[in-house]
Amino acid sequence: EVQLQESGPGLVKPSQSLSLTCSVTGYSITSNYWGWIRKFPGNKMEWMGYISYSGSTSYNPSLKSRISITRDTSKNQFFLQLNSVTTEDTATYYCADLPFFDYWGQGVMVTVSS
């Protein structure tokens, strides 16, 4: 059974960096694409980016140069770093396998507040 689990702080101060980890079991992240999606208060969903089986990345241009997705294949984990956060980055962050959304993590709510 494929499982994804996000972890990371639930509170981040404005201007700081948000860092999350997605731990994957039951499937190797050296296969397929793995990414981050966030859901804002209300219903809006946004695809943030992915890291591929080869380690290449693709990001949503809306996040410009603030985002970085990396991985540790030895631990079967991949990571999200979002820099210079503002209150508008307050959202629930999900990791998922892409591009078909087969599997999702349970989500982690991140609040940006001083």
Interface ranges with another protein (CB under 8 A) = 39, 43-47, 58, 60-62, 94, 98-102, 104-107
Query: Minimum distance between the CB of residue 32 and another protein, rounded to whole angstroms?
Result: 13
Q: Which is nearer to another protein, 14 or 99 (CB)?
A: 99
Q: Which is nearer to another protein, 85 or 107 (CB)?
A: 107
Q: What span, in angstroms and rounded, lies between the C-alpha atoms of 68 and 19? A: 10
Q: Which is nearer to another protein, 11 or 45 (CB)?
A: 45
Query: Minimum distance between the CB of residue 98 and another protein, rounded to whole angstroms?
Result: 7
Q: What span, in angstroms and rounded, lies between the C-alpha atoms of 54 and 93? A: 23
Q: Which amino acid is at 53?
A: Y
DSSP 89: G
Question: Omega before 14 cis (within 30°)?
Answer: no
Q: What span, in angstroms and rounded, lies between the C-alpha atoms of 68 and 42? A: 25
13 φ/ψ angles, rounded to the nearest 5 degrees: -85, 145
Q: Which is nearer to another protein, 10 or 100 (CB)?
A: 100
Query: Minimum distance between the CB of residue 43 and another protein, rounded to whole angstroms?
Result: 4
Query: Minimum distance between the CB of residue 18 and another protein, rounded to whole angstroms?
Result: 19
